[in-house]
Chains A and B, each alone.
Chain A
Amino acid sequence: MSEPSVTAAVATERGRTGSGLRRLALSEYLVLWLSVIYAIALAPFAPGFASTGNFANILISLLPLFLVALGQTVVLITGGIDLSVTSIIALTSVIGANVMSSAGGWLAGSPLAAPVAVVAMLALGAVVGGLNGVAVTWLKMPAFIVTLTGMMFFSGLAIWFTQSKNIGGLPEAFVVLGGNPWAAAAIAAATGGFAHVMLTRSLFGRWLFAVGHNAKAAHVSGVPVRGVTIAAYVVSGVCAALASILYTGQAETGSPVLGQRVLLDVIGATILGGTSLFGGKGKVLWTLCGVLFLKLVDNSLNLLNLSIFTITMVKGGVILVAALLDVARRRWAGGGA
């Protein structure tokens, strides 16, 4: 074989490998692949990792994160971002607890306490989401600033409302929603299923993607951009409230600092799944995969008895790689260098 043809063969081989990697990187379910590979690779090394008990533990802790990430997915699809979700979790937690707590709750002892509290939490989530949406659309403020200041305001409100105290004595009918894995799984599955149908089969879903791709073009095409954007933030608020129901039920306590630390996990998991930070792209299943992968990493690193500092660094690194991959995928998908 002459020298030029050897070079050509090497180039072809490199091209094949490169295109294989590119195909993998561009795959919709890259993170699911990574989850499977990660789980199989880690199983022999992380004690107790591959056990039914641990799987149940991962599932229980995954559900509320999935719910709040679902709402984030909807907002990201429109090209926005919702940083206020953690404060919605905290605020709805203390308001709901204050409605139903046996220790001085507004409806203490009433059989209606738990259902009214759930409705109040969902309504409050929707109201806060709506306020975010109105500020982003009507006041034309950047989503980042609106939801960041919203996070500060509503977190402060939750702490002021409770004077930094937790609220215990929640009725069993409520606690079971988060504490019972089957009930929590049913809530998450129903919400996920609804969101999937909404995004893939409804006109509203198509509008969300249209707004995320190009809001001006969507507006010209007759899409009610403002209404769709506000609705996206309402969905995010309601999803955060649903997550709050699960978190509060698991902790059996209404807490003004509930969920304070999950923001990075929420955005990280959503981006990891493949939802784009730049809008116009996202799926419920992707988000589920992102949440699953992040929880697998978290859980396995704990089982490996690594310190919190190492776990935080590794998780930060994983999310950074996912964000970089998002940029690279856009470039590859667009045929750029």
Chain B
Amino acid sequence: MKSPRFLLLAFAVSLVVGCGPSEKAGGANDGGEKLTIGVAFETLQTEYWVAGFAAIRKEIEDRGYRMLEAVADNDANRQLEQVRSFITRKVDGIILVPKDAQTCLPMIKAANAAGIPIVLFNRPADKSDARSVAVVADNFALTKETVAYMVEQARATGRKHKAMILIGDLGDINAVGRRDGFDAAITGNEDVVEVVARVPTEWSQEKAQAGVVNALQANPDIDFIFTSSDFLLPSIVSALKSVGKYKKSGEDGHVLLGGFDGDATAYSMLKDGYLDATGVQDVYFEAAQAVQAIVDLRVGKDVPGLIQDPGFVIHRDNLTEKAPQMWGAQVSGK
């Protein structure tokens, strides 16, 4: 067998021989022709991210552009490698869903250094000198509005409620915004709602389920639950069923239930009367804004650092009116 030195040399030569200009996006220019956009998602593990990924793909393809995709499987270092890979391929823009607000900073700096516009989809970065645009829902306001609706419902029953909140990964600024929105809606309404359990989930279905079961054991009279993401609803449903408290609105023992995202599970639970309200992120608006921001940045237009998706609260009273705008309803209809 040949020596390893020979093989390493052959390997190096194969790379050097292959070294040509990096792939240039096919015909990309600023005149509205075909751009190549790299889309790097942290994960595709929830319905929201799958819907967001599909919405961005559709937006890019509808404009006649080309999409390169990468999913980092919850690994920030892998995502950095993927973003560098996009830069090597000289993409015209990058849309990034980072794992969190801090680990994306080297990615943004790398894109800045290469002169490639970068847009953060649904999760903004921490403040720094790295330049990016973020398209995000107003997590605080939307959660506050959703929980305020739930508090109204609680007040209408004429009795005091005991509440539980499922908190997301606090490294994710969206989770912090939702937690703060929840707290803001409860503040001043302590006569109606008393928070007795705060379940940290780190965005994990298993941790959520264990946390909800434990909280219901410690406080069997919990009758007001808010989850920071609808993707955790199955964990809540399972835990409520196990203690015989999964009841429709209007039925005796109904637990007031609210969420955030507006996924297909939330839509079906709203329709069936188990869910009272959820804050809906307009995924189609966010996808369109993210791609448009790349196009605008490439031609030197001024784009604000933060593009906010106002979203909306959907509940039983406005379900028929708002369902056509709810991405979860669209996905479940397919």
Contacts and interface: CB of A to CB of B under 8 A. Distances in A.
Interface string B73-110: 11111101110110111000000000011110110000
B211 to A, nearest CB: 13
A312 B45 CA distance: 14
Interface stretch (A46-54, A69-77, A118-126, A230-238): A46-54
A33 B77 CA distance: 28
A100 B318 CA distance: 52
A86 B321 CA distance: 49
B11 A64 contact: no
A40 B15 CA distance: 8
Contacts of A112: none
A252 interface: yes
A52 B78 CA distance: 19
B171 A255 contact: yes
Q: Interface majority SS on B: helix, strand, loop or mixed?
A: mixed
Contacts of A52: 15, 19
Nearest to A299: B85
Interface stretch (A22-30, A129-137, A220-228, A327-335): A22-30
A199 interface: no
B126 interface: yes
B202 interface: yes
Contacts of B54: none
A36 interface: yes
A260 B11 CA distance: 31
Contacts of A29: 1-2, 4, 7
B112 to A, nearest CB: 14
Contacts of A165: 170-171
Contacts of B1: 23, 27-29
Interface string A240-268: 00000001001111010111111000000
Interface in A120-167: 159, 163-166
B307 interface: no
Contacts of A287: none
B106 A51 contact: no
A164 B103 CA distance: 14
Contacts of A307: 69, 71
B88 A57 contact: yes
A179 B81 CA distance: 12
A303 B89 contact: yes
Contacts of A55: 15, 19
Contacts of A251: 76-77, 80, 102-103, 106
A303 B80 contact: no
Interface in A27-83: 27-29, 32-33, 35-36, 39-40, 43, 47-55, 57, 60-61, 64
Given A43-B14, A255-B171, A247 B77 contact: yes
A50 B4 contact: no
Nearest to A24: B1
A168 interface: yes
B8 A32 contact: yes
A166 B82 CA distance: 21
B170 A308 contact: no
B85 A159 contact: no
Contacts of A50: 14-15, 17-20
A51 to B, nearest CB: 5
B85 A303 contact: yes
A204 to B, nearest CB: 24
A52 B74 CA distance: 27
Interface in B12-28: 14-15, 17-23
Contacts of A308: 44, 70-71, 73
Nearest to B70: A302
Nearest to B82: A302
A159 B204 CA distance: 13
Interface string A298-313: 0100110101100010
A285 B103 CA distance: 31
B145 to A, nearest CB: 26
Contact of B80 (A23, A250, A285): A250
A166 B7 contact: no
A256 B2 CA distance: 44
A298 B23 CA distance: 18
A312 B102 contact: no
B81 A61 contact: yes
A326 to B, nearest CB: 18
A247 B106 CA distance: 12
Contacts of B47: none
A73 B241 CA distance: 48
A128 to B, nearest CB: 20
B68 interface: yes
Contacts of A168: 102, 105, 126
29 contacts: A29-B1, A29-B2, A29-B4, A29-B7, A32-B11, A36-B10, A36-B11, A43-B14, A51-B88, A53-B88, A54-B22, A54-B88, A164-B170, A166-B101, A179-B106, A252-B105, A252-B106, A253-B102, A253-B103, A255-B102, A258-B76, A258-B77, A261-B75, A262-B75, A285-B4, A289-B4, A302-B85, A307-B69, A312-B73
Interface of A: 23, 27-29, 32-33, 35-36, 39-40, 43, 47-55, 57, 60-61, 64, 159, 163-166, 168, 179, 247, 250-253, 255, 257-262, 285, 289, 299, 302-303, 305, 307-308, 312
Interface of B: 1-2, 4, 7-8, 10-11, 14-15, 17-23, 44, 68-71, 73-78, 80-82, 84-85, 87-89, 100-103, 105-106, 126, 169-171, 200, 202
Question: Which 9 A-B residue pairings sit nearest by Cβ, starting from the closest?
Answer: A50-B18, A308-B71, A53-B88, A47-B23, A253-B102, A48-B23, A61-B81, A48-B89, A261-B75
